[in-house]
Amino acid sequence: MTEEAPRVGVPVPRRRRGAALTSLAGRPLRTVRPVQAGEQYAQPRQQLAKMARNGELHRTANGYYVVVPRAAIGTSWMPPLEAVAAGIAAADFGLDNAVLMGVSAARLHGALPRALAVAVVAVPMQRAKVRLRDRDGSVVFVKRNVDRLDAERLPTELGPALVTTVEQTVLDLAHRPLLGGAGDDVPAAIRTLLPRCDRHRLDELAVEQRLRAARDRAVSVS
């Protein structure tokens, strides 16, 4: 006999509420949409909104919530922009189909210290920009063949996320320096990343992805 989902307006026993939170926290990058909480709640949209008011969830954008770490409940905790972007993309497309790229990858690689208002993530399908509700910021999605991107998993505050490698990041920055609205910072980021690149791999990717002109611009920046 299956356990009946809790009804909105009816107090949920603390033990069951904790189990539901643990289940939600197991979502990729701790990010959940109401449609994905249907197994836990009969009316997930209302229940997630209530949990956000209680401080158990953090609402990042319309229809997207992050499970707050237990120790941070009741505080002003807010996840970093890049982790939020990866979580939103993973909630929509799956963890392996969301790759932080461009200036967001540069941030994760430590080459762009300034906090940004825009995060950039590669996904397999066209997707409209998402305006964030917890800060003055947004997530920009770029349609790409994510299987062909050179990427690695790097830690974020919400868990490991796919991020373009330093070689791929250098090529992407040189190819579209204005993407993400941080064009003034891109030359410095390239100069920081280029010495860390495997030049053979950089050349290989430039040929495979028809980004030789971008490679040449990157080298000239250094």
Instruction: Domain ranges for the chain, please list them.
Output: 14-72, 81-221
110-134 pLDDT per residue, tens: 999 999 999 999 999 999 999 999 9
> Is the model's pTM score more than 0.95?
no
Hey, which residues does 163 pair with through a beta bridge?
100, 152
Q: Report the number of secondary-structure helices (H) and strands (E) in the chain.
A: 8, 9
- State residue 22's pLDDT score: 87
Q: Which CATH number fits domain 14-72: 1.10.1060, 1.10.10, 3.30.70, 2.40.50?
A: 1.10.10
pLDDT of residue 3: 44
The rounded radius of gyration (Å) of the Cα atoms in the chain is 19
Which pLDDT value is given to residue 8? 46
In angstroms, rounded to a whole number, what is the distance separating the alpha carbons of residues 38 and 120? 29
Looking up tokens 């461009």, which residue turns up? Answer: 102
* Strands in the chain per DSSP E: 31-32, 57-61, 64-67, 99-100, 118-123, 130-131, 138-143, 151-154, 161-164
Please state, in angstroms and rounded to a whole number, the distance separating the CA atoms of residues 41 and 57. Answer: 15
Q: Which CATH architecture has domain 81-221?
A: 2-Layer Sandwich (3.30)
pLDDT score for 107: 98
d(CA 42, CA 55): 21
**Topology match between the domains 14-72 and 81-221:** no
Taking 50 as the pLDDT cut, the residues of the chain under it are: 1-10
